[in-house]
């Protein structure tokens, strides 16, 4: 679909409105619940913006690592099964790097302000 505004633009606009216009007007438990809602909208915005690219990169890494094709869900199932059977472990070339990058990609969506995540980003940059 090519209509504008895009879903990330919509969720960001709602979060910004709630954060800037509504949050200053309320307090107590209602303010807490509003902050939870704003955080959820921020997470959804990041997911809509970043997930497609990170999933595509994950599939590429998994295909190379496993030598098979499939969706991100199917490939992760195969990876889990092979790890459980002892066919793949951290000595397997590419596994540790794949797990690290997948974790970093997930943190970029879920917890981009997490101190350890920021520290690792600064090491890479």
Q: Where are the domains of the chain?
A: 7-124
Mean pLDDT across 19-23: 98
CA distance 4 to 64: 37
Q: Is the pLDDT at 96 greater than 70, yes or no?
A: yes
Q: How many of the other CB atoms lie within 10 Å of CB of 93?
A: 8
Model's pTM, two decimal places?
0.81
CA distance 30 to 90: 47
Q: Is the pLDDT at 1 greater than 60, yes or no?
A: no
């Amino acid at each position: 679909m090519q209509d504008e505004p895009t879903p990330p633009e919509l969720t960001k606009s709602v979060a910004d409105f709630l954060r800037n216009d509504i949050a200053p007007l309320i307090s107590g438990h209602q303010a807490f619940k509003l902050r939870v809602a704003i955080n959820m909208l921020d997470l959804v915005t990041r997911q809509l913006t970043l997930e497609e690219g990170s999933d595509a990169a994950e599939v590429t890494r998994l295909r190379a690592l496993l030598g098979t094709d499939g969706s991100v869900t199917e490939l992760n199932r195969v990876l889990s099964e092979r790890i459980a059977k002892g066919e793949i472990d951290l000595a397997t070339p590419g596994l540790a790097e794949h797990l690290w990058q997948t974790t970093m990609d997930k943190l970029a969506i879920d917890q981009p302000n997490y101190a350890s995540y920021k520290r690792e980003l600064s090491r890479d940059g």
